[in-house]
Amino acid sequence: MKVKQTSNFYFIRQLTLIIIFSLLVIQPGFAASVSKLYESSVKVDSPKGEQQQSENQLIAAAFTQVLIKVSGRSDVAASTGYSAMLKKAEGAISQFRYDYKVLSEADNETSQQGEQQEEKEKWFWVRFNAKTINALLKDAQIPIWGKIRPETLVWFSQETQGKRYLLSQYEEPEIYDVFKEQADKRGISLIFPFLDLQDQSGVSASDIWGNFHDAVLLASRRYQAQSTLTSRLFKEPSGLWVSQWNLLMLGEVQSWEIRDENLERVLASGIDELADKLSRQFTQVYREADDSSVLVQINNVGGFKDFQALDDYLRNLATVKSLAVMQVDQDKVIYSINYLSSKNSLIQEIRLGDLLNSVERSRVNHEQHNSSAYNSYKPVILGDLGANSAAASDREKALNTLDDSLTEPLKQASDGNTQTAPEAQVQEKRVEQLLPELEYWLAR
């Protein structure tokens, strides 16, 4: 009896620790801010019997990797503008160096004197200028993917000797290392489930292989990732490795299959395809004719710090070409955002971040345009929303013309470009042009 109580106590204690650990570790996933997009490392050492790469070849390889990472497209080298961009690779370099990475202890050699010699690999590291890379991609009509990118939750299952298992990164570290390495090369963010008691009770290998997406999505909610990926791996009698993938995102399912005799290639190719699909979803090729504008209202802006965070966030979105502060009234700011290609793409990119929360509100018809809710806004800009401002001035000049109700810290906005306010008085009918189409709350 005593032994049984001890066993129960131990089980309860372990379960409690798991729950506490989960509560402490699991944070809202939302979108990830991907770093090192403009950096790359290329291995210098060549296989035995092959000539070592020249520095120009190393620069070209690193440059191509950065173009792929920044654009999100794996076919950059096949684009018509690639050759012209490659000629400017050396001029785009900000920093470079040679690094030496120590191999694992298993690969180390021992000298005749009995001293252990560390075996090292030589790598070429380079960082390119972000503005130069972005300008080259824009000129070549290749999309630019911003640093705010969706996180993808990966459920991995493997069939071995006729049995199917749902495996964690701790059970198959070599497979997950391939996932991580390839995701890093492509500039995407992956997260992996704990496969603890909660996960195991919510999803099984049968759900992955049976394409029971509802069960997978329900179990994925605790991680709050923007997209979910299921990966199935098995080996055919012919010796080929087969990986099957399902991307669950925005209410849609995208599927693909990779076959290869090399296990690492079949896994890395699956992650490559994931990156390509994500980039197509959230980026578009820039064309001047596609430029359009939309009025966006942001609520809950409490002061200069909030405004600066909001302004920096919007300006760093990949789908935003330019923006201008149109109106400010107390804690509300209205922007005119000039976006690239698709308004839906702008909405989707904003959804990725955790800074803005969308507002559901009913549409106001034309008869209600003169209501007090809209007349309370005092326009700063009166020009056409879609017109380009050749005579743009500092954002501070526009903010200085705002209504007296504006808080003092907001009047001290940092430098930035916006349109100037005219000196003529604002007519009542011009207020109707500033009805925001999108509305968000700033999360603090």
pLDDT in tens, 110-129: 444 445 556 788 999 999 99
Say whether pLDDT at 399 is over 50.
Answer: no
Lowest mean pLDDT among 81-85, 141-145, 280-284, 414-418: 414-418
Q: What is the mean pLDDT of residues 252-277?
A: 97
Q: Cα–Cα distance between 440 and 356 in angstroms, integer?
A: 6
pTM of the model: 0.68
Closest CA to 213 of 253, 270, 243, 166: 253
Q: What is the structure's pLDDT at 315?
A: 86
What is the longest distance spanned by two Cα atoms in the chain?
A: 93
Say whether pLDDT at 381 is over 80.
Answer: no
Q: What confidence category does residue 347 fall into, taking pLDDT thresholds of 50, 70 and 90?
A: confident
Domains detected in the chain: 39-104+118-139 (no CATH), 147-282 (3.40.50.10070), 288-363+371-442 (no CATH)
Q: Cα–Cα distance between 222 and 210 in angstroms, integer?
A: 22
Q: What is the structure's pLDDT at 380?
A: 34
Q: Per residue in 301-331, pLDDT tens?
A: 988 999 999 998 898 787 788 899 999 888 9
Lowest mean pLDDT among 24-38, 201-215, 348-362: 24-38
Closest CA to 157 of 112, 202, 195: 195
283: which 2 tokens?
């980026």
Say whether pLDDT at 94 is over 60.
Answer: yes
Q: Per residue in 37-89, pLDDT tens?
A: 999 999 997 665 566 789 999 999 999 999 999 999 999 999 999 999 999 99
Say whether 444 sits in a helix, a strand or coil. coil
Q: What is the structure's pLDDT at 45?
A: 75
Mean pLDDT of the chain: 77
Say whether pLDDT at 416 is over 60.
Answer: no
| Separation in Å, CA 261 to CA 45, 74, 178, 237, 243 | 25, 21, 16, 11, 11
Q: What is the structure's pLDDT at 222?
A: 94
